[in-house]
Amino acid sequence: MRLRAPQFWRSPGLLSWLLAPVGWIYGKVVAWRLRCSKPKVTVPVLCVGNLIMGGAGKTPTVIALAKEFQEQGQMPHILTRGYGGQSHTALRVDPELHTAEQVGDEALLLADIAPTWVGADRYQSAVAAIAAGANLLIMDDGLQNPSLFQDLKIAVFDGQIPLDNTQVFPAGPFREDFQHGLKRVDYLLLINFSQLPRWAANKPHILARITTAAVPTSDRYVAFAGIGYPEKFYALLKQQGFILSAHKSFADHHVYNTYDLDVLLHLAEAQQAQLITTEKDLVKIPKNVRKNIQSIKICLKADLTEIVNKVLKFF
């Protein structure tokens, strides 16, 4: 199910209060599942996940970590659920063969960096990856997934996403009880925080930022995105000097159809502007339309040495 984050997730109100009992039940179910024993594999497993629903910056973090481990001579493979994908068994992603509809949008981006496996059963994917030569596994999402033991857990937060509402889904954006989640994870990766939040002060943490090397090649742009918090994308563009005459947001993981693309193309024509989007969105657009759309590569800037060295100690 593809949803936009409701307004009451940003600041609690009547709906949040009414849904609180459901959130309490949801949180208890998650906690119960996480107490179950998890199968362990023969290589280190590093999990990059969220305590909130979507949009915090997991995928750029996974990409940055995979590159760091590759530079250390390791052979990391990436495990992902493949949001929106159709694979229920372990499937190695081939960007030349598979589509976003088959394996999910993020999986296609990750597969350009390191061997990537999609599947609902992370343990099954882990076994397949190890058989294919992986000596290290990085989970893209899965902090609340009990199907595989995780040797090191990282929770990603973005300072541009307000945490005024700390209720558990559906009353708020949290996937589990906030304080319980903080205790479970080993590291916090804090993106775009101007100062260290109080709740992170006593936890190992790394400060990071999201950036891009892209520069404007047109005078005006119409930006669009189907990600968790598209406002972050628009803000990044403006920081880089892109002049936005309009923008249009879609639900997270939105699959673009002909009508969507016609609307966007007509909007850009009316504004006499160039269309621009994220790499994650571009992979869901037919190749014959992509030539009319500019995309930008989003990168994580952070010193990940401490995490890399900690994982290398498992060898």
Q: Give the β-pairing of 152-158 and 76-80.
A: unpaired
Regarding pTM above 0.75, the answer is yes
Q: Kindly report, residue by residue over 123-152, the tens digit of the pLDDT.
A: 999 999 999 999 999 999 989 988 899 999
Per the model's pLDDT, the better-predicted residue between 258 and 10 turns out to be 258
Pairing of strands 299-302, 205-211: antiparallel
Cα separation, 207 vs 196, in Å, equals 8
Each residue of 196-235: pLDDT tens digit? 999 999 999 999 999 998 999 999 999 999 988 899 999 9
Domain boundaries, the chain: 7-209+301-312, 221-297
Range list of β-strands (E), the chain: 45-49, 76-80, 91-92, 116-118, 136-140, 152-158, 187-191, 205-211, 221-225, 244-249, 274-278, 293-296, 299-302
3-state class (DSSP) for residue 244: strand
Number of C-beta neighbours around residue 98 at 10 A? 21
Tell me the CATH number for domain 7-209+301-312. 3.40.50
What integer is the mean pLDDT of 267-289? 94
